[in-house]
Amino acid sequence: MSASASWIARDAAAVWHPFTQHATWTADDPTVVERAEGPWLIDVDGRRHLDGVSSLWTTTLGHGHPEINAAIAAQLAKLDHSTFLGTTHTPGIELSEALIALAPKSDDPELTKVFYAGDGSSAVEAALKIAYQYSAQTGHPRSRFVRLEHAYHGDTLGAVAVGGHELFHEAYRPLLLETIGVPSPGDRALGPDRGAVADARLRSVMGEHGDQVCAIIVEPMVQGAAGMLDYDAEFLRTARELAYATGALLIFDEVATGFGRTGRMWAAEHAGVVPDLLVCGKGITGGYLPLSAVLAAEHVYEAFLSRPGDRAPRTFFHGHTYTANPLCCAAALANLRVMGEQDVVGQAARLGERLGKLLEPVAAKDGVVEVRRLGTMIGVEVAPVGDRTGFRVCQAARDRGVWLRPLSDTVVLMPPLTLGETETEFLVDALDAAIDEVC
Ligand code: PLP
C-alpha cells in the first residue's frame, strides 16, 4: 500500500472535509500533502505538485517564505496570543496602520479604521452586521441587502444570504436574511450587453427599494468563485453613485481580489471607486495564518460612538476569541513588507500578462469556451464532454505535476504572484496537455 492510500484510509475513518461529498470522495484519489517549498506542494509519496491555485487563492508569495516564517517565529517568542477585546497589542496596531496606509484612497469615503476577523466569511459577516447597525444608529433602520447573482461571499449564514448561488440558498432558505438579487454584469448568459442589463436593474432596484437597503455588496471587477466572471468597472461607479443617493453603504468583498491578485493592490483601483466597507482576507498573511479584516470608512466608525443621552450603547457587538491574533498580525506585517520591498503587485501584473500570452493558444482550442482573466485571476472554461469535465481536466493536470481546482467546468489558475518563468510555462503546458487529453 502506498503512503497516500494508507493516509486516505485513516482520513476516511476520522475526517469530515469542507464542501466535500464523502460518499464518493476517496474514489477521486485525493492528494495527501505533507510539506511545501515555494510554489510546490509535496505529497506523502514524495510527488511534487505545482500549486496552481495558491492553496485556495491565498499563498501569494509561495510556501515557506523565510521572512514570513521568521516573523512568525519572532512573534511567537514575544507574545503568542492576547485578547483584542478591551486590550490591544503592538502587532495589531502596526498592522492596522499599514492596512490604512495601503487602502484605496478618496476624500469621501475615507477608509480609516480596521476591524479584524478570522477568515473571509466571518469578515463578510461582520461587514453585514456593521451595515445593519449603521443604518439603525443613523436613524433609518434598514435590513435588506442588494447582492449580485452568482456571487460568492462565504459560507456563514449572512454570507450565504448575500451570495448568489441557488444551490446554497435552497439548502438553507429559512435561515437566510432578506436580499434582493441583481443580474451579474459578468454573466455571459446575458450577452454582450450584460453590463448595461445589470446597471439598469441595479438602478431600478435602488429606485424602488433604496430606502430599505442597508448595503450593496459586490466582488469588485471579477466574481471569483462564480468562475472568474470579470466585468466592466462602470458597474462599480453606478453602485457607488446609487449607494450615495439612497444612503445605503457600499461593501466591496476583496477577499479574493485583494493584495495584488488582480495586478493592482485592490480591484477597487481598476474602477477608481472607494467603498464604505472593504472586506479582505486570503492573501493578507501571504496565506500563512488565518486572518481577515474589514476596512471601514470614518463616517461608519463614527456612527458607533456613544453619545450623551443614548438609550443603548452604540458598541459593535461582535468579536471572537482569536480576533487579531498577534501571530497572524505578524505574518501579515511581514507579507506586506515583502510585497512592498519586492514590488509584488508589479510582479503580479507582469505574471498575469505572461499567463495571458501563454494561454492564447489554449483559448483557441475547440474544447475551450473562454479564457477569462484579470491579473492573475484566471478561469479557463472548457466545453462539457460527459460528466465533471473541469474536474477531469484538473486530474489530468495533476498527473502532469500541477495541482488545480475547478469551479464546475471552469479550471481556475491562481498561482503564487511570484511564480518564476519556468514554472509558469510548466503550469500552462500541463493544462494544455490535460485539455487535449480530456476535451
Ligand atoms: N468572499 C470571497 C470573494 C471569496 O472568494 C471567498 C472564498 O473563496 C470568501 C469570501 C470566503 O472566504 P473564506 O473561505 O476565507 O471564509
Burial (CB count within 10 angstroms: exposed 0-12, middle 13-18, buried 19+), residue 105: exposed
Name residue 411's amino acid.
V
398 CA distance to ligand 1 middle (Å):
24
Share of the chain above pLDDT 70, in %: 100
Q: Give ipTM to 2 decimals.
A: 0.99
Atom of ligand 1 nearest to the CA of 282: 15
Structural domains in the chain, sorted by start:
31-64+344-438 (3.90.1150.10), 70-341 (3.40.640.10)
364 CA distance to ligand 1 middle (Å):
31
Mutate to test the pocket of ligand 1, among 19, 124, 155, 255 (most ligand atoms within 8 A of CB): 255
Average pLDDT estimate for 356-383 = 98
Residue 430: is its pLDDT beyond 90? yes
Name residue 233's amino acid.
A
pLDDT in tens, 10-68: 999 999 999 999 999 999 999 999 999 999 999 999 999 999 999 999 999 999 999 99
Output the nine-digit C-alpha cell for 318. Answer: 461582535
Output the nine-digit C-alpha cell for 13. Answer: 475513518
Residue 85: is its pLDDT beyond 90? yes
Please give the Cα distance from 206 to 266 (Å, whole number).
26
Q: How much is the pLDDT for 1?
A: 84
Burial (CB count within 10 angstroms: exposed 0-12, middle 13-18, buried 19+), residue 92: buried
Pocket (CB within 6 angstroms of ligand 1): 119-121, 124, 152-154, 219, 224-225, 253, 255-256, 281
331 CA distance to ligand 1 middle (Å):
19
Mutate to test the pocket of ligand 1, among 17, 56, 57, 121 (most ligand atoms within 8 A of CB): 121
Atom of ligand 1 nearest to the CA of 156: 16
CA-nearest residue for atom 1, ligand 1, is 153
Q: Which segments are annotated as binding site for pyridoxal 5'-phosphate?
A: 120-121, 253, 320-321
361 CA distance to ligand 1 middle (Å):
31
292 CA distance to ligand 1 middle (Å):
10
Q: Are residues 58 and 276 in contact, defined by beta-carbon separation less than 8 angstroms?
A: no
pTM beyond 0.90: the answer is yes
Q: How much is the pLDDT for 109?
A: 96
pLDDT band (50, 70, 90) for residue 277: very high
128 CA distance to ligand 1 middle (Å):
14
Atom of ligand 1 nearest to the CA of 124: 10
Burial 187-208 (b: 16+ CB within 10 A, else e): beebeeebbebbbebbbebbee
What's the mean pLDDT when you consider all of the chain?
97
CA distances in angstroms from 137 to 27, 159, 302, 364, 428, listed in the order given: 53, 22, 10, 54, 52
Output the nine-digit C-alpha cell for 144. Answer: 435588506
Residue 265: is its pLDDT beyond 90? yes
402-403 and 48-51 strand pairing:
parallel
Atom of ligand 1 nearest to the CA of 121: 16
pLDDT in tens, 184-219: 999 999 999 999 999 999 999 999 999 999 999 999
pLDDT in tens, 104-163: 999 899 999 999 999 999 999 999 999 999 999 999 999 999 999 999 999 999 999 999
- Closest Cα partner for 148 from 178, 179, 175, 176? 179
Share of the chain above pLDDT 90, in %: 99
